[in-house]
Amino acid sequence: MVDFCGIELRHPVINGSGTFDAIAARRAFGDELLDEFPFSAFVSKTITPEPRAGNPPPRLWETPSGLINSIGLPNKGLDGFLADDLPQLAELPVPLIVSVMGTSHDEFSRLVDGVGGRDEVAAIELNVSCPNVKSGLIVGESPEEAKSLLGAIKPLTDRPLIVKLTPNVADPVPVAEAAAEGGADAVSLINTLRAVAFDPDKADRWLGGGSGGLSGPAVRAVALAQVHSVASSVSVPVVAMGGISTGRDAAEMLGAGAALVAVGTESFRDPAAGARIADELDAELARISG
Binding site for ligand RRO (CB under 6 A): 18, 46, 69-73, 127, 129-132, 191-192, 213
Smallest gap, in angstroms, from Cβ of residue 83 to ligand RRO?
Answer: 21
Smallest gap, in angstroms, from Cβ of residue 201 to ligand RRO?
Answer: 25
Nearer to ligand RRO, 73 or 189 (CB): 73
Nearer to ligand RRO, 69 or 245 (CB): 69
Smallest gap, in angstroms, from Cβ of residue 192 to ligand RRO?
Answer: 4
Nearer to ligand RRO, 47 or 254 (CB): 47
Residue 268 CA, distance from chain mean position: 15
Nearer to ligand RRO, 61 or 278 (CB): 61
Nearer to ligand RRO, 129 or 267 (CB): 129
Query: Exposed, middle or buried: residue 265 (CB in 10 Å: 0-12, 13-18, 19+)?
Result: buried
- Are 167 and 193 in contact by the 8 Å Cβ rule? The answer is yes
- Are 237 and 259 in contact by the 8 Å Cβ rule? The answer is yes
Smallest gap, in angstroms, from Cβ of residue 155 to ligand RRO?
Answer: 25
Q: Is 130 a residue of the active site?
A: yes
User: What's the 3-state SS for the chain?
Assistant: CEEECCEEECCCEEECCCCCCHHHHHHHHCCHHHHCCCCCCEECCCECCCCECCCCCCCEEEECCEEEECCCCCECHHHHHHHHHHHHHCCCCCCEEEEECCCCHHHHHHHHHHHHCCCCEEEEEEECCCCCCCCCCCHHHCHHHHHHHHHHHHHHCCCCEEEECCCCCCCCHHHHHHHHHHCCCEEEECCCEEECCEECCCCEECECCECEEEECHHHHHHHHHHHHHHHHHCCCCEEEECCCCCHHHHHHHHHCCCCEEEECHHHHHCCCHHHHHHHHHHHHHHHHHC
Nearer to ligand RRO, 54 or 257 (CB): 54
Calculate Rg over the CA atoms of the chain: 18
Smallest gap, in angstroms, from Cβ of residue 29 to ligand RRO?
Answer: 24
> Which position among 68, 71, 73, 130 bears the catalytic label?
130
154 phi and psi angles, rounded to 5 deg: -55, -45
Which residues are tagged catalytic?
A: 130
